[in-house]
Chain A
């Protein structure tokens, strides 16, 4: 027998499946029983089946390193799913909707009346130093006042079992295609488990995405022309861009496929000549989206795109400038932002966050840097971070200097002991730390994916889950235990 839950150590951890040595949580009981019954040979067969499905389906991501440049890697995947009881998920779902709704109101306010600043809830200095605030967008409000149509919020659970929001990705969040593909792989590998559990489906995401995008079409026509704008095949998320376009039946375009004419409308070059485009799901960063408005030497964007958007002739998701709320300093204010716009208390808590632009908080961070995680305000993908307890003294010193020279650009959080889940290491299971990225779609209405992308740190003890830094992933099952089968 390969998997013995009695040998699986969860002391001082919060494990998603195992409550205490040998004791699965209620909703994980059937899965754990099933896994226990597998022989080493069967475990290896299941792993091989998953690897081969990933290989054949061509699920890859690109990483950059000094030795090899940009390389395509097969998607690292663990065959044991991560389970969440639907009762708990319903609360999280509400919390995410509340959060994204407030964040969109916040962005719309910042680009228009700035009531929240006038009312003294957030300081004006926050905006002045924000790299992602685009003055070009001021005085404009997209349909429904929604700027961040697609949001990927990272959730973590600490060793007490509390779920926190770690960050909100409001620019061009990626990972949803892996959520969908992980499910496809699992259906090929574990068909019998799908018969035993009532697992909430995830595959309606592409049609929800399509409907959301169609909602923001300026032309109210039966079939608006929707395109996905990608930086191209060398982008690390290209797989996802192509995947989503395919799933939605939308055209996948690069900047040079599109052109803005004198009528301020966007067209694409086709074998029939130029065709009008209504909505662009753009996966190109703000700064590169329109060389006319921003980086003049960008080859990825479309000259005149911002002009067409502000003229109301094309829908852009996410709206340029929505990244202003995707900033780790703004993050610290989100509970207040929710209270201000919705007059509600935040359902999902933030991780306690020390803002280095506040003198008192900064001093605390400098003092306790060895126990904290320090993050730059505007980076993503785990780049430019300091994980205090795992860093050397000289790294601590380096970050102290960085913080002192640019306090606005740093926040710090206590080191959380992230929850774990059983993960295959060879033919044995060991606990590995993980997080969860659900995706929230907003236009006329708000929809949250059932679960999301679970990312897992494959190295023992590590808390770094980013795929660019050696993380892997698991399928996420929201299981309805009240639906008797």
Chain B
């Protein structure tokens, strides 16, 4: 039985929204911790979080200051922000609802539970004490949903669309995090702050859950170049950009009618591997990431042309 175009599209977006919710939860958790470690005179603050999702204009239409409370409200519970965790989970659930008949029942139940958990406990995110557990629960539930997909669902076309959605979203979020974090990083820090520079690169790694794996591989002190190399090009690390693109390519290879999307993905992967991005200065890195973002959009367009 071949898959309905509409269903393939819903699965793709279901996975994207889930990944978005998870990444946002990680991002906010890490930022909360980072701010505790930085001296108070360093004004890193919460604005970069808004910038990562390119929501600056929308944010300032609705809030006066990028203080902790406003940014967290905006990014976690604000249903008028289509990128908030609440909105992403709502959209994931609506997409899942329309394809409920092909998802593993347990995954649907888990998603429902997560949705109600966030709806019922969203006040927890405003207190620093309970925030960590609240966000960790979101991350864990997402991980278990992904695990249920992988462990209890037939790895057929539908699964490939889930995997494509997840990896494209991950690639998108990773590159946004790298872009904004590396730009906002050092600007406010004077000469005696190299320890803090270290902390900040650690936080970039942690935002992508890469710190521990990075450490296992790169034992020396944390440098910008090594971190970028790891996050962009370490194909064995599942949250790296290269790994995500390889996964997209592999999933596409399982699908019918895949030529144009696969060509686009390969092209982007080759671009990534030849650009030596870790060596780029900040300005060039930004341009490079813009190109990657455009490439991801083009892959999405090809998917629409071929399947949806």
Contacts and interface: CB of A to CB of B under 8 A. Distances in A.
Cβ-closest 6 pairs across A and B: A246-B101, A270-B2, A272-B2, A245-B101, A58-B112, A242-B100
Interface in B75-120: 94, 97-102, 108-109, 112-113, 116
Contacts of A243: 100-101
A56 interface: yes
Interface stretch (B4-12, B273-281, B291-299): B4-12
Q: Which residue of A56, A225, A257 has the most chain B CB atoms within 10 A of its CB atom?
A: A56
B102 A269 contact: no
Interface stretch (A112-120, A247-255, A303-311): A247-255
Interface residues of B, number: 26
Contacts of A272: 2-3, 256-257
A257 B98 CA distance: 13
B220 interface: no
A271 interface: yes
A254 B101 contact: no
Contacts, number: 68
A271 B5 contact: yes
A425 interface: no
A167 B84 CA distance: 48
Interface in A431-482: none
Main secondary structure of the interface of A (DSSP, over half): mixed
A269 B112 contact: no
A268 B6 CA distance: 10
A2 B6 CA distance: 51
Contacts of B218: none
Nearest to B307: A271
A86 B117 CA distance: 43
Nearest to B102: A246
A55 B116 contact: yes
A247 to B, nearest CB: 8
Contacts of B255: 271
B195 interface: no
Given A55-B116, A246-B100, A275 B109 contact: no
B1 interface: yes
A257 B6 contact: yes
B157 interface: yes
Contacts of B157: 271
Given A233-B94, A271-B157, A58 B2 contact: no
Contact of A56 (B5, B100, B113, B307): B113
Contacts of B257: 271-273
Nearest to B109: A56
A386 to B, nearest CB: 37
B101 A242 contact: yes
A124 B226 CA distance: 87
A175 B3 CA distance: 28
B243 to A, nearest CB: 25
B4 A251 contact: yes
Given A55-B113, A257-B6, A271-B256, 4 more contacts: A55-B112, A238-B97, A271-B157, A275-B1
Nearest to B3: A271
A256 interface: yes
Interface size, A (range): 20 to 34
Interface of B: 1-8, 94, 97-102, 108-109, 112-113, 116, 157, 255-257, 306-307
A91 interface: no
A86 to B, nearest CB: 30
Contacts of A242: 97-98, 100-101
19 contacts: A233-B98, A238-B97, A250-B101, A252-B101, A253-B4, A253-B6, A254-B6, A256-B6, A257-B4, A269-B5, A269-B6, A270-B3, A270-B5, A271-B4, A271-B5, A271-B8, A271-B157, A272-B257, A275-B1
Contacts of A252: 98-99, 101
Contacts of B4: 251, 253, 257, 268-271
Interface in A222-265: 225, 233, 238, 242-243, 245-247, 250-254, 256-257
A193 interface: no
Contacts of B100: 58, 242-243, 246
B256 A56 contact: no
A257 B5 contact: yes
A73 B97 CA distance: 14
A57 B116 CA distance: 12
B306 to A, nearest CB: 8
B152 to A, nearest CB: 14
A253 B10 CA distance: 13
Contacts of A233: 94, 97-98
Contacts of A247: 101
B101 A275 contact: no
A340 to B, nearest CB: 42
B1 A225 contact: yes
A58 B255 CA distance: 31
Contacts of A270: 2-5
Nearest to B95: A233
A250 B101 CA distance: 8
A49 to B, nearest CB: 15
Interface in A57-108: 57-58
Contacts of B8: 271
A463 B303 CA distance: 54
A359 B7 CA distance: 55
A185 to B, nearest CB: 13
A230 to B, nearest CB: 9
A256 B102 CA distance: 19
A257 B97 CA distance: 17
A270 B5 CA distance: 5
A263 B94 CA distance: 36
Contacts of A246: 100-102
A58 B101 CA distance: 13
Given A233-B97, A242-B98, A272-B256, A58 B108 contact: yes
